[in-house]
Amino acid sequence: MRILLVNPPIPKTYYNSEFCLPLSLLYLAAALRDNGDDPRILDLKIYSNQNVSDFEAFYSQKLMESVSSINPDMIGFGCLYSGQFHDIVNYSKLITTKYPDIPIILGGIHPTIYPKEILANCPSIDWIVIAEGEETLVKFVNKYKNKDFNFDDIDGFAYRKEADIIVNPKTYYIKDIDKISMPAYDLINLKDYYVDTSGWFNPKNLSINTSIPIITSRSCPNRCNFCCMYHVMGPAWRARSPENVVNEIEFLYDKYDHRHYSFMDDNITLDKKRAIKICDLILKRNLDIQFETPNGLSINTLSAEVLDALVSAGMVRTNLAIESGCDFIRNKIMRKNLPREKILEVAKLIKRYKNLKVSAFFIMGMPEDTEDTLRETYDLIQQLNFDRVYLMNIVPFPGTEVFEQAKKDNLLIDSCPEKSYLSDDMYLTNYNKLFLKPYKLQLQDLRNFRSLCEKLPCVKKMPSKQAA
C-alpha cells in the first residue's frame, strides 16, 4: 500500500517557533517499509516560515497537492500535540470531500487520550492507533490489504463497528526495542529543518543547523499524579542498548555530518550504568557532538559520575524536573519522592560545568496549593538561580489522577471537560490559561503569583495569550 503520513503544521497558539523532525512518523514509515509497503511523508511544518497571508489556505493547498500527486491508498495523520487536532479535523474533512475513497487513520498522544470521543464526533476520521504504534499499524494495514475488516484482535486500536465505537485498550508494548528499525530519515530532506541557530548555546562552535531528536528509551516507571505519558508508552521503562543508540548517532554523524541532538526520553538516566555507557561510546567513537535533554532529567538519577559522563560526551543544555518548592506538594501530592536535599545537591554539582545551560520545570496551581506552598516554590526558584525556569500552570490531562480529582471536586474551570478533545490550545497556552481552581486559592492569586515570579530574571515569560 502507498500510505501518506502527514505531520500537521505548528499551531498558531504554540509559543515555541523551533521545530524538529517528525520522529514518530519516521519510525512508523520504517515499520511500514519493512512490511513491504510504500510510505511517504508530508511534513507541513517545514512551510511554517513561508511569507503567506493565509496560512490555512496555504497548508490546505500543499496537502491537497500531495494527495493528488502521490495518490495514496491511505492517509495517516500524526497528532503529537493536542493543538494540532483542530487542523487535522479540517484537513480530514477536506480530503474526504474530494477523495471519499481514501480512508484516514490517526495516531499520537491526543487521540490516545480521546479515541472514543474523536470517533463519535469526527466522521472524517476512520480509525485510531492508540499509544505505541509500529506493530499496531502494520497489523492493521495487513488486515486492510487482505480485506479483513474484523479488527477485534488488534491491540491498541479504535474503530467503528456498525453503530458502536470499539476501543481495544493497549495491553502489549514492544519489549526489545532494539529490534525496532531506525527511523526512515531518507524519506525527508534534512535541510528542510535547518533554522537560524546563531543564537543557540554552542560552546564547541560546531555547525548545528538543527537538532535531531533521539529516543533512547520509552516510558517512565514513575507515577506522578499529573502525568499521562505512561498511557502512551506503557507502564514499563524499556531501553535501547547503548550500542544501538550510538549506532544511530554515528549513522547521522557520518551520512549527514550532523552534530546536534536532542534526547527526548522521559527518563534517560534511570539506568545510570547504561547512560554512562552511551556517553563512553560517543567518546570512544570520536563523535564530536553536542546534545540537550529538553524533557527533563530525573534528579534522583543524577550523581557526579553521571553528570561528568553526560557533559564529557557533549551535553550543553538540560532541564531538571523539580515541579514544586514545597516538600508536601512535590512528594506527598505529586509523588515525585524527591528530597529537597537531593535538589540542592544536584544544583551544586551541576553548576560546576561552565559549558552547560541549566533550566528547571516548576508547576503552579495544584489543587492543594496555598499561598504558603507557592511562596516555597518562589523561594526555591530564587535560591537555585538557574539559567531559566519554566513555570507552568497545572494542566489536568484526562487519564491522570489530578484530572479525576479536579472533576470530582468541581475544580475544573471548563464546565464541560469531556469536550476538551476539540481544544486547539488547551496544552499550548497553559502558561497563561488556568484550568483548575485550587481549594484554598482564587484564580487572581495564581495570576499574582506568576507576575511575582516573572520579576525574577530566570523565569521564562510567555507571550500573552488566552486567559481563563
Output DSSP code: residue 82.
G
Please check whether residues 306 and 415 belong to one and the same domain.
yes
Query: What is the reported pLDDT for 217?
Result: 97
CA distance 82 to 395: 12
SS3 content of the chain, % helix, strand, coil (to 5): 40, 15, 45
Please check whether residues 186 and 119 belong to one and the same domain.
no
User: Which of 194, 262, 213 lies closest to 21, judged by CA?
Assistant: 213
Amino acid identity at 151: F
Q: For 276-285, 438-447, 453-462, which range has the lowest pLDDT when averaged over its residues?
A: 453-462
What CATH number corresponds to the domain at position 12?
Answer: 3.40.50.280
Please check whether residues 118 and 199 belong to one and the same domain.
no
Query: What is the reported pLDDT for 25?
Result: 98
Query: What is the reported pLDDT for 419?
Result: 61
pLDDT category at 226 given cuts 50, 70, 90 is very high
Please check whether residues 23 and 97 belong to one and the same domain.
yes
pLDDT category at 416 given cuts 50, 70, 90 is low
Does residue 174 belong to any structural domain of this protein? no
Query: What is the reported pLDDT for 178?
Result: 98
CB of 325 closer than 8 Å to CB of 347: no
pLDDT category at 243 given cuts 50, 70, 90 is very high
Query: What is the reported pLDDT for 48?
Result: 82
Instruction: Identify the domain boundary among 134, 168, 202.
Output: 168
Please check whether residues 340 and 420 belong to one and the same domain.
yes
Please check whether residues 208 and 348 belong to one and the same domain.
yes
Query: What is the reported pLDDT for 336?
Result: 95
pLDDT category at 13 given cuts 50, 70, 90 is low
Instruction: Identify the domain boundary among 135, 168, 201.
Output: 168
Please check whether residues 386 and 437 belong to one and the same domain.
yes
User: Which of 459, 318, 319, 330 lies closest to 394, judged by CA?
Assistant: 330
- Supply the range of the domain harboring residue 34: 2-168
CB of 7 closer than 8 Å to CB of 193: no
Does residue 462 belong to any structural domain of this protein? no
Please check whether residues 312 and 266 belong to one and the same domain.
yes
pLDDT per residue as tens digits for the range 265-304: 999 999 999 999 999 999 999 999 999 999 989 999 999 9
Q: What percent of the chain has pLDDT over 90?
A: 82
Please check whether residues 191 and 237 belong to one and the same domain.
yes
Please check whether residues 295 and 443 belong to one and the same domain.
yes
pLDDT category at 12 given cuts 50, 70, 90 is low
- Model confidence at 184: pLDDT above 80: yes
Q: For 14-23, 77-86, 312-321, which range has the lowest pLDDT when averaged over its residues?
A: 14-23
On the CB side of 118, CA atoms within 13 Å amount to 32
pLDDT per residue as tens digits for the range 41-74: 999 999 987 888 888 899 999 999 999 999 999 9
CA dihedral 389, 393, 399, 403 (to 10 degrees): 140
Q: Which class for 444: exposed (0-12), middle (13-18), buried (19 or more C-beta within 10 A)?
A: exposed
Instruction: Identify the domain boundary among 168, 194, 227.
Output: 168
CA distance 274 to 297: 15
pLDDT per residue as tens digits for the range 329-379: 999 999 999 999 999 999 999 999 999 999 999 999 999 999 999 999 999
Tracing cell 463519535 back to the chain, one arrives at 120
- More confident of the two residues 195 and 39: 39
Q: Which class for 70: exposed (0-12), middle (13-18), buried (19 or more C-beta within 10 A)?
A: middle
With a CB cutoff of 8 Å and minimum separation 6, the contacts of 408 are: none
User: How much is the mean pLDDT over the chain?
Assistant: 92
Q: Which class for 90: exposed (0-12), middle (13-18), buried (19 or more C-beta within 10 A)?
A: middle
- Model confidence at 449: pLDDT above 90: yes
C-alpha 247 chain-centroid distance = 23
CB of 344 closer than 8 Å to CB of 328: no
Please check whether residues 258 and 283 belong to one and the same domain.
yes
What CATH number corresponds to the domain at position 333?
Answer: 3.80.30.20
- More confident of the two residues 250 and 428: 250
CA distance 108 to 191: 25
Q: For 14-18, 312-316, 345-349, 457-461, which range has the lowest pLDDT when averaged over its residues?
A: 14-18
With a CB cutoff of 8 Å and minimum separation 6, the contacts of 366 are: 226, 324, 329, 333, 334, 373, 394, 402, 438
CB of 5 closer than 8 Å to CB of 78: yes
Does residue 406 belong to any structural domain of this protein? yes
Looking at the 3D structure of the chain, how many domains does it have? 2
Quote the cell numbers at residue 410.
468541581
Query: What is the reported pLDDT for 466?
Result: 42
Give the pTM: 0.94
- Model confidence at 424: pLDDT above 50: no
Please check whether residues 141 and 245 belong to one and the same domain.
no
With a CB cutoff of 8 Å and minimum separation 6, the contacts of 244 are: 178
